[in-house]
Structure 1
């Protein structure tokens, strides 16, 4: 039973996409941090869920592990991410949809490598691919490679100089729309959640438009409680959720151990919201 004291984190990443820890290590860290309910939401893949579930089941006091994924979509030329929760991870149409997403990621990654090579950074594709291993290649892997090879000394600087919109290595996405991703999640019995709405750096009018159109596309919830946010941001997102009749979710968006952000940390939930785990669709292992 979930209570106000239950520690919940419904957005994090593993080495199945661009996280630094294996799925098993993510679960182990969550357990160590006192997380009670966890969703590993790798980018456009559920490749890490089986290993996470197996490891979790072997623990003396396993946590509640929710199936999760973070799907990339395109909205008015912006990358918008939708988290899917509590779905059937063996649903054939969803698996086919995610396979298509991985192909789009690979094509984009190849073009990023070509653009960086033209800018004088040789071997970036091969180096990032080596870091990614079996995971789909992402901009995060390129960022890690450029830092490890000394091209730039900080991951955030990599995006500012090379991978952000308008920079040398930026390649526009070719994702599908929000409605298609939401439909794929719903077909597998899941809940569609707008990920980190304030993280897209949209101005007030555009943020309201995004939330409204996400709802109109069939979206169920939005992340209100984030790993790093100001009190004003929390208030604004809570108001937007209630105004648009969306359930609220909570997630750290953890990728790697760091000083300011960790699994289950600083995720205090305000009252007065309808949370995703309060719906009949909510299921855990």
Structure 2
């Protein structure tokens, strides 16, 4: 099985990179992509963990970038997966640093607003929960759970951390066209993540998706927990029509989301096509991989 979207403690997942690799093997995966938000911070540890495996396994290094689509009439937040790009490419490296700094400042601003409203959490508590990873709203949600304010992180997102909450602070996002361009320049493969995850808010319409082909979009994440069956079918058709590859993945976050590794997967044919488009960095194989 091939799962091309998973998170670790380097961003907002609950598994360390080492634990993620071990859990992927236990779930029956033979190929996994590590795709933390706006960072490559988990790559080295995950690669070392793969190097210790005694079973065939392949690691694909990637990142999920925070992006914005703006056509002059509306602005839509979205995520873009970048696979196998050169992490030392200067322009993309600078953007990752800018986004990470923004996530930190945004997290502190949300916590400050909650504290001012009387909620018994602290910024230091959130930093400790993040454990050195890029701070995100799930870490604030966990702090609220620890304080007994909500029963779960899901509850926190439904109310105190939602985009309609008075405590919400927008995040800095890279124009999606620029993100696509920089990933391609760095030898990577840009794939739009869960584009029709409608429960998360506004999504790109078909015209907007089509418009991203010209800047260099190469794929669509079709099979995802947040996509309804009809949307999966239409996205499959769109990908074929536009000459884009189709992927599937779990968007695994460990205990912070109720979804398991391999819940949605990518076909070997799509993976082979993705690998043929990448020129940035190599795969990492376990010693037992033939």
Paired residue for 2:184? Answer: 186
1:48 alignment counterpart: 42
Tell me what 1:212 maps to. Answer: 210
- Indicate conservation of the 8 Å contact 1:248/1:276, yes or no: no
Matched residue, 2:272: 277
Query: Structure 1 residue 18 and structure 2 residue 18: aligned?
Result: no
Distance (whole Å) between structure 1 residues aligned to residue 226 and residue 92 of structure 2: 31
Per the TM alignment, residue 200 of structure 1 is displaced from its structure 2 partner at its CA by: 4.2
Correspondence for 1:148: 146
Residue equivalent to 1:66? 60
The CA distance in 1 between the partners of 2:243 and 2:56, in whole Å, is 33
Judge conservation of contact 2:192–2:219 (CA < 8 Å) in 1. yes
Q: Is the 8 A contact 1:67 1:85 kept in 2?
A: yes
**SS in structure 2 at match of 1:224:** strand
- 2:136 and 2:257 map into 1 onto residues whose CA distance is 23
1:8 corresponds to: 2
RMSD: 2.4
CA–CA distance in 2 between the matches of 1:32 and 1:104? 35
* Structure 1 Cα separation of the partners of residues 200 and 135 of structure 2: 26
Q: Which residue of 84, 87, 107 maps to 2:85?
A: 87
Q: CA deviation at 1:121?
A: 1.4
Find the aligned partners of 1:224 and 1:105 in 2 and give their Cα distance.
27
Runs of 4+ in 1 over 6 A off after TM superposition: 202-205
Aligned pairs for 1:32-181 (under 5 A) are: 32-75=26-69, 76-181=74-179
Corresponding residue SS for 1:254: coil
- 1:117 to 1:213, Cα distance in 2 relative to 1, 3 A: farther
**Secondary structure class of the residue paired with 1:41:** strand
Q: CA deviation at 1:245?
A: 2.6
RCO higher in 1 or 2 (8 Å CA, sep ≥ 6)?
2
Alpha carbons 1:104, 1:174 under 8 Å: kept: yes
Secondary structure at the aligned position of 2:11 is classed as coil
Consecutive unaligned residues in structure 2, runs of 5 or more = 285-290
Contact 1:211 1:244 (C-alpha < 8 Å) held by counterparts: no
Counterpart residue number, 2:287: none
Aligned counterpart in structure 2 of residue 252 of structure 1, from 236, 250, 253:
250
User: Is contact 1:194-1:214 (8 Å) kept?
Assistant: no
Q: What TM-score results when the alignment is normalised by the length of structure 1? A: 0.88
- State how far apart, in whole Å, the 1-side matches of 2:247 and 2:266 are: 11
Deviation at 1:229, TM superposition (A): 4.2
- The TM-score with structure 2 as length reference comes to 0.87
Does the 8 A contact of 1:53 with 1:65 survive in 2? yes
Maintained 8 Å contact 1:39/1:67? yes
- Residues 152, 258 of structure 1: CA spacing in aligned structure 2 closer, same or farther, 3 A cutoff? closer
Please report how far the alpha carbon of residue 203 of structure 1 lies from its aligned counterpart in structure 2 after TM superposition: 9.0
| Structure 1 position 29 matched with structure 2 position 28 | no
Paired with 1:192 and 1:155, the residues of 2 have a C-alpha distance of 30
Alpha-carbon distance change, 213 to 150 in structure 1, aligned in 2, over 3 angstroms: farther
Q: Give the SS at the match of 2:220.
A: strand
